[in-house]
Amino acid sequence: MSRWHQIKTKFLKTEFSKTGLLWFGLLTPIVLYASTVWRRPNPVIIEHQPLFQGITYSRQASDQPRPHIVHILDIDLTAPGLRPYVTPTYFAIDLQQYLKHRRLKSRKPRAKRTSEFLKTHKLQLAVNANFFLPFDDGTPWYYQPGSGDVVNLNGLAISNGNIVARLNPKNKPSPPTLCFTEQQAVINDDGTCAEGTRQAVAGNLVLLENGQPTEQLQNQLQQEGKVPYSFTIAALDASGTRLWLVLVDGKQPLYSEGMTLGEVTAQVQALGADTAVRLDGGGSTTAVISSPHGATVLNTPIHSKIPGRERPVGNHLGFFAKPLTP
């Protein structure tokens, strides 16, 4: 083989290697993204499927006026053994997290994925709750907060009677609260909870009062009424003993693009709700249940542009519940 032929062969091999690496670098993110899309559950309609004693699940799917999927958790707060539970100040953390987050003396809430919260406290159901800061989900490789990072919650949060986050009097209007006492709950638009409240989380907008849309909602509809979005809504009947958690998947074209604020309010109103409050939504919208296979995410959250990826959120609302009888 001539010297020129050897040089030519080596050059071609190098170019082929560079081309192969280039295509690999371009195709890998596409393949990984496609795999997350394929793993999304089929939008099959589910009607009143019992999950645990006192907790029933429904899933609605429609392509009108745009593709959207709605998850409804119907909770009987008087069911035997059913107890709400809100994220406490501390989580059980392993050595790796301890080495990463050395500010353990700081009694502040820390972000966790909803599935992590459910597994840590051995709950049967958990959803995301308060709005929080800091927040940034700009890219798949950089986002805030990470799991275990300190966060500031917007509004009141109470866990087992202990205040996790206080109401900031400078926040006007005050973030409305969802307060739990013994086998009952109430939504307060002034951001407070009565003495004896065991668990509480906060939202940022009361949607319904006495079964009718609120004035605050009407004002908000003028700003965001036409924009489809992901939602986590908590609603109560007039007695305060029946709770609905309504979650809308969004930001996923051709699968679930979300609902407008007016549409989701009408959805909650149709359930028979007397009062309703909007909790944190968007990519934070997550519902997780315990199953024989571990923590199972019911909906399809989207975080840092990746469908099915859970976002570490500021805090959560969970429930202990008994298994279904045979």
pLDDT tens for residues 158-209? Answer: 999 999 999 888 788 899 999 999 999 999 999 999 999 999 999 999 999 9
Distance CA 165, CA 269 (A): 30
206 within 8 A of 189, measured Cβ to Cβ: yes
The whole-number pLDDT of residue 93 equals 43
List of E strands, 160-252: 162-165, 177-181, 184-188, 199-202, 205-209, 212-213, 231-236, 242-248
In this predicted model, which residue has the larger pLDDT, 139 or 178? 178
In this predicted model, which residue has the larger pLDDT, 23 or 14? 14
pTM of the model: 0.86
Following CA atoms 303, 308, 309, 315 in sequence, which dihedral angle do they give, to the nearest 10 degrees?
80
pLDDT of 132 over the 90 cut: yes
Q: How far lies 222's CA from each of 180, 212, 227, in Å?
A: 32, 17, 11
Q: What are the tens digits of pLDDT across the range 42-70?
A: 889 999 999 999 999 999 999 999 999 99
Sort residue 89 into left (φ over 0), alpha (ψ -120 to 50) or beta. alpha
pLDDT of 26 over the 60 cut: no
**Backbone phi, then psi, for 99, in 5-degree steps?**
-70, -30
Lowest mean pLDDT among 58-62, 94-98, 178-182, 293-297: 94-98
235 within 8 A of 213, measured Cβ to Cβ: no
Distance CA 239, CA 233 (A): 18
183 within 8 A of 78, measured Cβ to Cβ: yes
Query: Whole-number mean pLDDT of the chain?
Result: 88
Q: What is the CA radius of gyration of the chain?
A: 23
Mean pLDDT on 247-272? 97
Mean pLDDT on 288-306? 94
| Residue 15 structure tokens | 């170019």
**Burial class of residue 297 in the structure, from the number of CB atoms within 10 Å of its CB (0-12 exposed, 13-18 middle, 19+ buried):** middle
Q: How far lies 103's CA from each of 97, 106, 110, 249, 253, in Å?
A: 11, 6, 11, 35, 40
The whole-number pLDDT of residue 229 equals 97
Following CA atoms 229, 266, 167, 102 in sequence, which dihedral angle do they give, to the nearest 10 degrees?
-40
The whole-number pLDDT of residue 324 equals 95
The whole-number pLDDT of residue 90 equals 62
pLDDT of 30 over the 80 cut: no
In this predicted model, which residue has the larger pLDDT, 171 or 301? 301
Mean pLDDT on 141-148? 90
Block residue for tokens 């109470």 = 158
Block residue for tokens 């973030």 = 175
pLDDT of 35 over the 60 cut: no
Q: Which residues contact 159 (CB under 8 A, 6 or more apart)?
A: 85, 86, 87, 88, 89, 199
Distance CA 220, CA 215 (A): 9
180 within 8 A of 196, measured Cβ to Cβ: no
